[in-house]
Amino acid sequence: MCPSPLSILSSTVMKIARLSCLALLSLALFGCDQATKKIPPTTTLKAREPVIALALGGGGAKGFSHIGVIKVLESHGIKAKIVTGTSAGSFVGSIYASGQTPYQMQNLALKLQESDIRDLTLNSQGFILGQKLQNYVNAQVGNKPIEKFPIRFAAVATRLDNGRKAEFIKGNAGQAVRASCSIPNVFVPTVIGSTKYVDGGLVSPIPVKTAKDMGADIVIAVDISARPTGDKPLSMWGLLDQTINIMGQQSINEELNQATIVIQPKVGHLGVLDLKSSNEAILEGEKAAQAKITAIQSAITNFKKSPAAFKPAPRAKF
């Protein structure tokens, strides 16, 4: 017996009603579930701290002023993550980057004797061998290679074969500093592998560009280079120091123009080899750094407000 049209219609209506009830129930349950879920908070981007670098220039015993600069910076909570150094700057910078505190470095400076780092030799290429300097630095850094330092470090020297800049970021720290400090015709050139190296001041007197290439956001350059004054006759060492800086004046200006902050301790009156003036040099470094603290703090504050603070740190080129 075939169902009547009325019964078919009634059955269809009942099915539709049941499906409608199920759909409404599902919607109600879904709405309740959504109501109980918490909307995740909006993620706020946080500005990163800038990568601060110290670029320490050369200048013989005047380089002890670098210690005074570091003392003041650390007393204000300003800690470098990268240190680059040329000549005397590599000497101080290597010891600092290896983990010694500014006060430990100050004690070393006050006790340092010429006999600790000077070894005379008879050689047509120079009269200071440099092995004592290398040994002294390695002793102070605990014989750690550069790549094991807690602070990233580069010593800058000059290749004698082609005049190009060499940046030592790994290997024997004392040997790298020796190369960076090897003043031509004074020190016998440092031989590493089959290459001879001389003082880094010939190509990069204040290694700002090296610091930037290592990934620095802010570079604090410390300039202790000699400037002609005509005030008094120069000693042989003073004349040599000033001659190197006169020849490299264009390089000095180019480097300093790339720095965020330039600190220039007033150490021009101190002798290049005058180790007895180390305390005065340190004090001059402290005074010069203190005068720049406000500018450094402003540079850090401004960086944190800049778009760069919300991006990853610059990738090091080496």
C-beta neighbour count of 230 within 10 angstroms: 6
Which of 21-25, 37-41, 217-221 is predicted most confidently?
Answer: 217-221
pLDDT value of position 6: 46
- 3-state SS, the chain, equals CCCCHHHHHHHHHHHHHHHHHHHHHHHHHHHHHHHHCCCCCCCCCCCCCCCEEEEECCCHHHHHHHHHHHHHHHHCCCCCCEEEEECHHHHHHHHHHCCCCHHHHHHHHHHCCHHHHCCECCCCCCCECCHHHHHHHHHHCCCCCHHHCCCEEEEEEEECCCCCEEEECCCCHHHHHHHHCCCCCCECCEEECCEEEEEHHHCCCCCHHHHHHCCCCEEEEECCCCCCCCCCCCCHHHHHHHHHHHHCHHHHHHHHHCCCEEECCCCCCCCCCCHHHHHHHHHHHHHHHHCCHHHHHHHHHHHHHCHHHHCCCCCCCC
Q: Considering only CA atoms, which of 136, 127, 78, 121 is closest in space to residue 102?
A: 78
Give the residue-averaged pLDDT of 56-62: 94
- Provide the b/e sequence for 2-28 (b: ≥16 CB within 10 Å): eeeeeeeeeeeeeeeeeeeeeeeeeee
Worst-scoring range by mean pLDDT, 39-48, 74-83, 85-94, 278-287? 39-48
Which amino acid type is present at position 263? I
pLDDT of 118 strictly over 80: yes
**Does 108 or 6 have the greater pLDDT score?**
108
Structure confidence at residue 247 (pLDDT): 64
User: Averaged over 172-181, what is the pLDDT?
Assistant: 98
Percentage, residues of the chain above pLDDT 90: 73
**274 included as an active-site residue:** no
Say if residue 299's pLDDT is above 70.
yes
Q: Which residues of 184-201 are buried (b: 16+ CB within 10 A; e: fewer)?
A: eebbbbbebeeebbbbbb
Instruction: Specify the higher pLDDT residue, 282 or 21.
Output: 282
Has residue 3 got a pLDDT over 70?
no
Nearest C-alpha neighbor of 283 from the set 268, 266, 295, 269: 266
Does residue 129 have a pLDDT over 80? yes
Q: Average model confidence (pLDDT) for the chain?
A: 88
**Cα-based torsion angle of the residue sequence 148, 98, 223, 299 in order, rounded to the nearest 10 degrees:** 80
Contact in structure between 300 and 218 (CB atoms under 8 Å): yes
CATH number at 52-227+249-307: 3.40.1090.10
Is 21 a residue whose pLDDT tops 60? no
Backbone phi, then psi, for 197, in 5-degree steps? -125, 145
pLDDT at 86: 97
pTM (2 d.p.): 0.84
The answer to whether the beta carbons of residues 271 and 239 sit under 8 Å apart is no
The residues near 130 (Cβ < 8 Å, ≥ 6 apart) are 119, 178, 181, 182, 187, 188, 190
pLDDT score for 13: 45
Res 25 pLDDT > 50: no
| 199 given a catalytic annotation | yes
End-to-end alpha carbon distance in the chain: 92
Identify the sign of the CA torsion 24, 28, 29, 30. positive
Catalytic residue, chosen from 94, 180, 199, 277, is 199
% of the chain at pLDDT higher than 70: 79
Q: Please tell me the predicted confidence (pLDDT) of residue 9.
A: 43
The domain spans of the chain are 52-227+249-307
pLDDT digits (tens, 9 = 90+) for 244-269: 666 667 889 999 999 999 999 999 88
- Would the pLDDT of 107 be above 60? yes
Q: Name, in order, each residue with C-beta under 8 angstroms of 296's C-beta and a sequence gap of 6 or more.
A: 73, 76, 78, 218, 220, 261
